[in-house]
Chain A
Amino acid sequence: MFYNVISELTRQYVYKLAESGKRRDGRVLDQFRDITVQTGVIGTAEGSARVRLGKTEIVVGIKMQPGEPYPDSPDQGVMTTNLELIPMASPYIEPGPPGAEAIEMARVIDRGIRESGTIPLSDLVITPGEKVWVLFIDIHVLDYDGNLFDAGTIGVIKALENTVVPAKDYEVGEENFPLKIRNIPISTTFVKLGKVIAVDPTAEEESVATSRLTITTDLNGDLRAMQKGIGGGFTLEEVETCIEKSIRFGKQLRSLLWEKPEDVVTPEEG
């Protein structure tokens, strides 16, 4: 069936367990699942990454091709993010174009990348006013066990990091060259399980959660995107606590995924 029926008694158990600081998969409330990342996995893409966060698995592909700028922004390239929640990823997904959930996830992930200036659109200009790079970010979800926001953000950064701009292939430059990234946004997603807040939810936890909050921070510890989801509510205190945790997790995850995060980033010129 296409709706996930978790019994009421299991839902209550998840809340009770959370109250004692634990979760069904053995984690504590403030704990991320294991993450593995492989880059350069898709030869037909200009950049790619495969991310496993617990049992969630996604593949991100970056495609670039020359195109025209939007008339109202002649000095800017074009970047667009799409997330495909394909039916193989979960028994509860129907085939079809992205629904509201997939669209929301794509837009939130995009916001984190865009607002943090990871790829400034001015970097994507070939000939101002005439020709720019159109950069497509495609997130393909293969196995769904919750938290596509965080897995997606990590996947996109890693894919961008190994992207080679095909300037020579498209005859707009002498050589293909690596894409420079200017920041490393990391998102952390929290869910409310009963009265208690846990980070990095599994699919089951997402189904029983009463509310959800995703916060994206950058290398500086500044906020770049936020999104509250699933109904329910957070108190101001809870939000502030989540922000603090987000900044901490952001630092931890960056150290985990890059030896020297600062070296990966090329600060903006000028």
Chain B
Amino acid sequence: MGSPKEDITLIDEKGRRLDGRLPNELRPIKIMAGVLNRADGSAYVEWGNNKILAAVYGPREVHPRHLQNPQKAIVQCRYNMAAFSVQDRKRPGPDRRSIEISKILSEALESVVLVERFPRTTIDVYLEVLQADAGTRCAALTAASVALADAGIPMKDLIPACAVGKVGGRVVLDLFKEEDNYGEADLPIAIIPRTKELVLLQMDGHLTVEEFKEGLKMAYEACEKIYELQKQALLEKYTKRKDDLLDKETVEKFLERTEIPSEKTELEGGEGGGEEEIEAEEIVEEEEEVPEGEEVEEVPETELLEIGEEFMEE
């Protein structure tokens, strides 16, 4: 972090940064889901000049066996930079920085992945930086969420990530390489959009408490925008590629084959493997309320095969 400022003016009086951005501006971001063949799920992110690929395998067997956890899946994230991803060629293989980043990214993802559902397995997330321009850990984590959803791994939420920093005495959003090298602080974060909880938080440099709060607010707002891009990437894949949409047959068979989670797991929130307790006590009131404003397709079980007009497309 921060070598002494040279004669470079990283930010001018009008707030224009070296690459022309204003303090509160994100670099252009493009996200694509489902870009690899072999992997169970994948995503590609271009974020400014960063180019990062994420791939997910899992849940699958744990090797070596002693790492297995009989109560839940382990999430193993491996962040790696390609030799040609930086100006001075990097020797291939994990270095201390990559190992630390891998650890914090694994922990961030663990907070949202439904690991209890797949004990004794691993969910492997591979993140390759093909071209780097600062903010790679945030871009990588952003890609990782999309890749996990693409792989069909159950998660409470997607995790958008972004960094803020301090440059020329001002708090700015989304540092690029020069700013990262010559700036005064770097603060990457990642959040669960719905609850606003922080699942990744690092800081290095020099910030006053006010600057920290200002930066955090900026980063939160940026994360919300990034979340929308993650969502778009996933929806785009499935609305463009019609061959992935489901037909009625598949839906019916899925419902037939799987079970509604038992009441116990309903409270914990999740898909259990429990017996279908149709007659079990539910937390019900006297009347079954049908909420307003929500489309409740009232299709009684015996008539599930009836197809209303709106479903027919022939």
Contacts and interface: CB of A to CB of B under 8 A. Distances in A.
Interface of A: 1-2, 42-45, 48, 55, 57, 59, 61-63, 65, 82, 84, 86-91, 94-95, 97-98, 136, 138, 140, 142-145
Given A86-B80, A136-B83, A136-B89, A91 B60 contact: yes
A140 B83 CA distance: 9
Contact of B132 (A44, A86, A94): A44
B84 A62 contact: yes
Interface in B91-139: 92-93, 124, 126, 128, 130-132
Nearest to A95: B78
B36 interface: yes
Contacts of B38: 55, 88-91, 143-145
B126 A45 contact: no
Given A59-B130, A86-B126, A91-B60, A65 B83 contact: no
Interface stretch (B50-58, B190-198, B210-218, B288-296): B50-58
B89 A65 contact: yes
B86 interface: yes
A42 B51 contact: yes
B128 A88 contact: yes
Given A45-B84, A98-B92, A142-B128, 5 more contacts: A44-B86, A44-B87, A63-B89, A84-B83, A89-B38
A65 B91 CA distance: 13
B80 A143 contact: no
Given A45-B84, A63-B84, A1 B128 contact: no
Contacts of B85: 42, 44, 61
Given A140-B128, A142-B128, A44 B84 contact: yes
Interface string B277-299: 00000000000000000000000
B37 A87 contact: no
A88 B55 contact: yes
Given A43-B49, A44-B132, A55 B87 contact: no
Contact of B92 (A1, A45, A138): A138
B82 interface: yes
Given A2-B63, A42-B130, A86-B128, A57 B84 contact: no
Contacts of B53: 88, 142
B39 interface: yes
Contacts of B37: 55, 57, 143, 145
A138 B61 contact: no
B309 interface: no
A45 B42 CA distance: 24
A136 to B, nearest CB: 5
B88 interface: yes
8 contacts: A62-B84, A63-B83, A87-B126, A136-B89, A138-B83, A138-B92, A142-B36, A143-B37
A131 B266 CA distance: 70
Nearest to A84: B92
